[in-house]
Amino acid sequence: MGEWRGAGIGAGIAIGPVVRLEQSAAPTPTDTLSTLGAEAEAERVVVALGSVAALLRRRAVHADRVVRGVLEAQALMVEDPALRDAIQLRLDDGVTAEAAIAGAFGAFAELLVAAGGYVAERATDLRDLADRAVGALQGLPSEAIVDPGVPYVLVARDLAPADTAVLDLDRVLAFVTSEGGPTSHSAILARQRGIVAVVGATGVAAVADGTELLVDALHGRVVADPDPAERAEAELRLAVQASALATPAAPGALADGTRIALLANIGSPSEVGDAARLGAEGVGLLRTEFLFLDAAEPPTVDAQLASYRAVLDAFPGMPVVVRLLDAGADKPLAFLPAGEELNPALGRRGLRALRAEEGVLRDQLAALAAAGAGSAAELWVMAPMVTTVEEARFVVQAAHDAGIPNAGVVIEVPSAALIADRMLRHVDFASIGTNDLTQYTLAADRSLGGLSALQDPWHPAVLRLVAEVGAAGIAQGTQVGVCGEAAADPLLAIVFAGLGITSLSMAPAALAGVRAALARCTREQAESIAAAALAAEEADEARRAASAVARARFIG
């Protein structure tokens, strides 16, 4: 029985036989000096890159809309003139087509890695394209996935868009990758399609084809040949998962009728369809970075307005909570450079970056106010990375001045949680960002796969901070939601309800599981589950204690 740990995507569980994606392709070119001459090598480059671009476009035809866009962008990347120039320069030095392609793509990939965050994850895509081009030069086959004809767990180093485009996703029970983080293409696709996944599980690529693999996204664990006890627990969760999917999408509530609004986390207007279909009662977190990510200049007020309106219009009569631009650290933006910082996560990010470029903040507020004024949805706006009461007062005032009546803060820095009683006096609402709150409480960089064991929102220190904010919310009658990934964990959702949280926002695919879990216990029961978790010394112990109370009394 082997066991690996990585970052779990969502809260699901799956068991099935392994199919490995063969990615041994393209050996690094060793014979770098050309015997053919630069001109002949240049022709080989054209043929190889042309065949990769054609393969990407062929796969794009059958892919869904999101993957199609990525594949088309990649085909353009392969044909990028700057890359061609970089390859030609190397050919002029007398190297082979293989070496020139590997060298030029590698240099571009390093630039992406240096940019950090989301951008760095795209370096894997570029390296995949280089491997495919070198593979084409060496006559290696490009279709690597063998469909076994039964549902399976796909194990790979990392999945490139060109790989996933040819998969029959209905047959894939889970993805497990040994590389890549929570913002890799594999993770994004898993979130969008509600596929169970664990990414960055170092060492898992060695598992043999056909091995029975248990993939537990909730706990970021992968187990080969699970023992009978492990299997029984997994089967119970599979049954709950299946019944959750079969339950109609009603508004979120505990068994005694206490309302817990179930909202969607959305990264762009293209995701509203899934959220509405899966019964979201509004949007609890619209991440607005999509508007700014690839821009050299901030988008105009009009361009922003159109995007905000597209989301608001999908939720008439419902709340749509928009987070102001959260630039910096894991979300670097070209036009808001933070400068050289040794610790970007502790640097000029979130509201700090917006205050340094107040024009960007004012434009975003103006666009949001205009979108909200003309919409049937309820617009709420919140600021990321708020650390002090002065910051909370500043941003709430700025939003009110712009004509937005509902203005709040994301509580994701321990200082804000620790004085939540004072912070909440100045805001219309708050939402706890458990991803960052966990990173800052445990002092463990959320982008480092190697520290994933520490990045656990079940840690009682994180739970105590959530309790602090929940209690302040109850005392002052202020709504406090949770919008980090932790809200997607059904058992943790019960704990949050027991700590006074009034709404939970998550990837739409997780809504059904959380809805079903909440419906199984009363407020009082949720409080006793929360108390058991809070009393623990470690994250694992908190999880086990909550699970034992839940199973013994009402859930199992």
**Chain positions contacting Mg ion, by CB under 5 A:** 412, 433, 436
Binding-site residue numbers for Mg(2+) are 412, 436
Instruction: Give the nearest distance from C-beta 360 to ligand PEP in angstroms.
Output: 18
Instruction: Give the nearest distance from C-beta 188 to ligand PEP in angstroms.
Output: 13
Among 285, 312, 325, 427, binds ligand PEP (CB under 6 A): 285
The SS3 assignment for 258 reads coil
Query: Does 434 sit near ligand PEP (CB under 6 A)?
Result: yes
Binding-site residue numbers for phosphoenolpyruvate are 287, 323, 435-436, 446
Residue 128 or residue 412: which is nearer to Mg ion going by CB?
A: 412
Active-site residue (options: 185, 426, 459, 521): 185
Give the per-residue SS3 of 441-506.
HCCCCCCCHHHCCCCCCCCHHHHHHHHHHHHHHHHHCCEEEECCHHHHCHHHHHHHHHCCCCEEEE
Q: Which of 504, 514, 518, 510 is nearest to 554 (CA)?
A: 518
Q: Which stretch binds ligand PEP (CB under 6 A): 97-105, 160-168, 218-226, 431-439?
A: 431-439
Query: Does 178 sit near ligand PEP (CB under 6 A)?
Result: no
Chain residues 473-512 in contact with ligand PEP, contact rule CB under 6 A: 483-484
CA 337 vs CA 112, 217, 288: distances in Å? 15, 34, 17
Among 179, 436, 456, 489, binds ligand PEP (CB under 6 A): 436
Q: Which of 97, 55, 110 is nearest to 78 (CA)?
A: 55
Query: Does 177 sit near ligand PEP (CB under 6 A)?
Result: no
Query: Does 455 sit near ligand PEP (CB under 6 A)?
Result: no
Which residues, in sequence order, are CB contacts of 188 under 8 Å at separation 6+? none
Contact of 253 with 519, CB cutoff 8 Å? yes
Dihedral (C-alpha) 157, 161, 165, 170: value to the nearest 10 degrees?
A: 60
CA distance 457 to 435: 8
Q: Which does 502 bind (CB under 5 to 8 A by kind): ligand PEP, Mg ion, none?
A: none
Which residues, in sequence order, are CB contacts of 365 under 8 Å at separation 6+? 324, 381, 398, 399, 402, 404
Instruction: Give the nearest distance from C-beta 445 to ligand PEP in angstroms.
Output: 13
Residue 434 or residue 525: which is nearer to ligand PEP going by CB?
A: 434
The SS3 assignment for 182 reads coil
Instruction: Give the nearest distance from C-beta 63 to Mg ion in angstroms.
Output: 30
Which residues, in sequence order, are CB contacts of 1 under 8 Å at separation 6+? 223, 224, 225, 226, 227
Query: Does 433 sit near ligand PEP (CB under 6 A)?
Result: yes
Chain residues 312-371 in contact with ligand PEP, contact rule CB under 6 A: 326
Q: Which stretch binds ligand PEP (CB under 6 A): 35-43, 105-113, 427-435, 465-473?
A: 427-435
Q: Which does 530 bind (CB under 5 to 8 A by kind): ligand PEP, Mg ion, none?
A: none
Active-site residue (options: 426, 459, 483, 521): 483
Contact of 514 with 262, CB cutoff 8 Å? yes
Identify the DSSP state of 165.
Answer: T
Q: Which stretch binds ligand PEP (CB under 6 A): 22-30, 201-209, 428-436, 543-551?
A: 428-436
Residue 483 annotated to the active site: yes
Among 435, 441, 455, 478, binds ligand PEP (CB under 6 A): 435
CA distance 384 to 410: 5
Q: Which does 505 bind (CB under 5 to 8 A by kind): Mg ion, ligand PEP, none?
A: none
Catalytic residues: 185, 483
Which residues here bind ligand PEP, judged by CB under 6 A? 285, 287, 326, 412, 433-436, 483-484
